[in-house]
Amino acid sequence: MSARLEIENLRVAYGASQAVAVDRLVVEPGTLAAVVGANGAGKSTLVNAIANWSRAAPRVEGAVRMDGEDIAGRAAHEIVKRGLQLVPEGRGVFMGLTVEENLREGAPSDAGPGRRSYSIDDVYELFPRLRERRSTAGGSLSGGERQMLAVGRALRMAPKSLLLDEPSIGLAPRFVALLLRTIRSLVDDGLTVLLVEQNVRAAMEVTDVVHLLERGRLIASGPVDEMRDDPRIVEAYLGGGHG
Amino acid sequence: MNLLQQVVNGVIIGHAYALVAVGWTMLLGAARLVNFGHGQMYMVGAFVAWWFMRLTGLPYPVAVVAAVLVGALIGAVMQRLLMRLTLSRDLVSLMIVTLGFGQMLEGAAGLTFGARPQTLTSPFQSMTLHFGAIWFTVQDVILVVATLVVFLALRLLLNATKFGVAVRMVAEDPVLTRLAGIDIARVYMGIFAFEGAAVAFAATLVAPRTPILTSMGFDQVVTTFVVVVLGGIGSVGGSYVAGLSLGLFTALFGALVSPAYTTAAVFALLIAVMALRPGQLAASANFAR
């Protein structure tokens, strides 16, 4: 049912400077993996490269496999059609379109085996707040509503795997908790999710696996219960509170 | 002098300006692109209709359809040729390349259709309607109605259809649009095909009013540019109002002041508008309104 996401020898460079060099990163089907790290560690560059999507057009090499099929190098919209969906950092919604118009574009209901399609109503079930705001322009939404809409837009494409880039950024704590809980429930329903987060503590609450990214390289990986006690994470991100 | 007649003329010419400009408005509003070959595409639309009628002997309405199809094809081919420039929105290069494209069309049309003035004959041009002191032709009525239909249909398309929403997505953020699984190159192609079809349609309706020449394209570029800029760059409703206003302005200026200085006056108006409200000339995200 769920997709296995496998990244191998991924190298991303802007001009002469290499931003990301990840040898191997696997997200098992129906699990949630979090990539944590400091600002500028290359987290966004990593997920953007997996989706072959960027505003800066970096040079990307390496393999991205979903259920064994190499999708690296395909056009961004082709990757979306194959079921790998990115929710980009910041504004992932169209400001000039209403909530409902933002949700209009979606995968066909017979998107393919192993893909759960979401109707606009399904998205409203998941985020009732969006139903209330259905005729509001994306630009008039609060940060939390905007992020819900971004996730809703992504679900409309019937993804097998979801890449989330900093969904918690700029959100009030209660929105962060609500959003991450919803994402966890999607994972429990079978979605494969790779989450990039600066809010390490919040990510730890919901994730199965943690990867620590530093200067574009994965320096530690493991199940969340082991990583909680990893000194590199404790010192830098959890302030020793879990020691 | 009959002032009311001048107002009627102005309304008719104004609708002609608006209809000729609608393709460029869409191009600019949705794709943030320019096409300085627009006027030559107008000329080709008129000549294709004329040539089609001469070769086949089929009636004028069939020639209109033929010209629209050829126009859409020219637009689509143009987008294929300019793919890289359109995706990177390299405006300066596009301006120069489309200007060259227009010159190519003009040269090819000169070779194919000859340098002599021709007449695109519409049976509706000779049917006149008189109401007291004012008069106009059935062709004028068709032009005004067609313009209203095109503008209303475009508004409906942009606001209520899936393709229209995709166009507005591309207008706001083409890079983000890719993440909705949309091949933006195809959306751009649709926009260019619309531009080509719309200007050819406008040409077939407007051209029967005057003799047609293969060198008439440049004037159309200039007028269209004025309409698009006055309308608030890329606003659909704005360019309708701008076309209508410009039509009334030229008709009344020609009648009350001097027909010889009408073009100069239009440019003075353009400069004045650009100087007075430059902030509002930026293409807005709400171009579909």
User: Residue B73: is its pLDDT beyond 70?
Assistant: yes
Amino acid sitting at position B5: Q
Nearest Cα neighbor of A192 from A164, A173, A168, A167 is A164
Mean pLDDT to the nearest integer, B22-49 = 91
Give this prediction's pTM. 0.88
Count of structural domains within chain A: 1
User: Residue B249: is its pLDDT beyond 90?
Assistant: yes
Residues of B in contact with A51 (CB under 8 A): 179
User: Residue B14: is its pLDDT beyond 50?
Assistant: yes
Q: What is the C-alpha separation between B34 and A30, in angstroms, rounded?
A: 47
Q: What is the C-alpha separation between A37 and A217, in angstroms, rounded?
A: 10
Select the residue from A52, A54, A74, A77 to test the B interface by mutation, using most B Cβ atoms within 10 A.
A77
B184 touches chain A (CB under 8 A): yes
Q: Which domain holds residue A97?
A: 5-238
pLDDT of residue B194: 96
Q: What is the C-alpha separation between B44 and B25, in angstroms, rounded?
A: 19
Nearest Cα neighbor of B184 from B169, B164, B205 is B169
- Mean pLDDT taken over chain A: 90
User: Residue A79: is its pLDDT beyond 90?
Assistant: yes
Give backbone dihedrals phi and psi of B10, rounded to 5 degrees, phi first: -60, -40
3-state secondary structure of B131: strand
CATH number for the domain harbouring residue A218: 3.40.50.300
* ipTM, 2 dp: 0.90
Fold type of domain B3-281: ABC transporter involved in vitamin B12 uptake, BtuC (1.10.3470)
Question: CA torsion B207→B151→B93→A74, rounded to 10°?
Answer: -130
Nearest Cα neighbor of A49 from A16, A28, A18, A27 is A18
pLDDT of residue A243: 37
Query: So where are chain B's domains?
Result: 3-281
Which of A23-27, B67-71, B125-129 shows the lowest per-residue confidence on average (mean pLDDT)? B125-129
* Strand-pair category, A17-27 with A192-197: unpaired
Q: What is the C-alpha separation between B79 and A212, in angstroms, rounded?
A: 45
Q: Please report where in the chains the tokens 């998941």 appear, as a residue.
A: A126
DSSP letter string over B247-289?
Answer: HHHHHHHHHHT-GGGHHHHHHHHHHHHHHH-GGGGSPPTTTT-
pLDDT 10s digits, A33-55: 999 988 888 999 999 999 999 98
Write out the two tokens for A196: 């990039």
* Shortest CA gap A106–chain B (Å): 7
Considering only CB atoms, A94 lies closest to which of B162, B172, B184, namely B172
**Within-domain flag for A243:** no
Reported in sequence order, the residue ranges of B43-153 that DSSP labels E, i.e. its strands, are: 128-131, 134-137
Residues of B in contact with A101 (CB under 8 A): 165, 168
- Mean pLDDT taken over chain B: 89
Mean pLDDT to the nearest integer, A59-66 = 93
Residue A3 pairs in a beta bridge with none
pLDDT 10s digits, B157-199: 998 898 999 999 998 999 999 999 999 999 999 999 999 999 9
Alpha carbon distances (Å) from A98 to A112, A121, A138, B152: 28, 15, 6, 20
Contacts for B149-158: CB closer than 8 Å, 24+ residues apart: B150/B19, B150/B22, B150/B198, B150/B201, B151/B18, B151/B22, B151/B236, B151/B237, B151/B240, B154/B22, B154/B26, B154/B236, B155/B236, B155/B237, B155/B288, B155/B289, B158/B236, B158/B288
User: Residue A241: is its pLDDT beyond 50?
Assistant: no
A51 and B179 in contact by Cβ < 8 A? yes
* Shortest CA gap B168–chain A (Å): 8
Q: What is the C-alpha separation between A54 and A48, in angstroms, rounded?
A: 6
Residues of A in contact with B182 (CB under 8 A): 77, 105
Nearest Cα neighbor of A72 from A87, A56, A84 is A84
Write out the two tokens for B14: 């104004």
User: Residue A25: is its pLDDT beyond 60?
Assistant: yes
pLDDT of residue A239: 66
User: Residue A242: is its pLDDT beyond 50?
Assistant: no
Which residues 119-178 of chain B have a CB within 8 Å of chain A?
A: 162, 165-166, 168-169, 171-173, 175-176, 178
User: Residue B286: is its pLDDT beyond 80?
Assistant: no
Among chain A residues, the shortest Cα distance to B175 is held by A55
User: Residue B90: is its pLDDT beyond 90?
Assistant: no
Question: Residue B186: CB partners within 8 Å, gap ≥ 6?
Answer: none
pLDDT 10s digits, A92-128: 899 999 999 999 888 776 677 778 889 999 999 999 9
At B287, is the pLDDT very low, low, confident or very high (cuts 50, 70, 90)?
Answer: low
B206 touches chain A (CB under 8 A): no
Residues of B in contact with A107 (CB under 8 A): 181
* Strand-pair category, A161-165 with A84-87: parallel
* Shortest CA gap B208–chain A (Å): 40
Alpha carbon distances (Å) from B134 to B4, B6, B206: 7, 9, 20
pLDDT of residue B277: 67
* Shortest CA gap A96–chain B (Å): 6
Question: Residue B36: CB partners within 8 Å, gap ≥ 6?
Answer: B95, B98, B99, B102, B221
Residues of B in contact with A105 (CB under 8 A): 162, 165-166, 169, 180-182
Q: What is the C-alpha separation between A191 and A92, in angstroms, rounded?
A: 20
Which of A121-130, A219-228, B111-120, B261-270 shows the lowest per-residue confidence on average (mean pLDDT)? B261-270
Question: CA torsion A225→A227→A230→A235, rounded to 10°?
Answer: -110
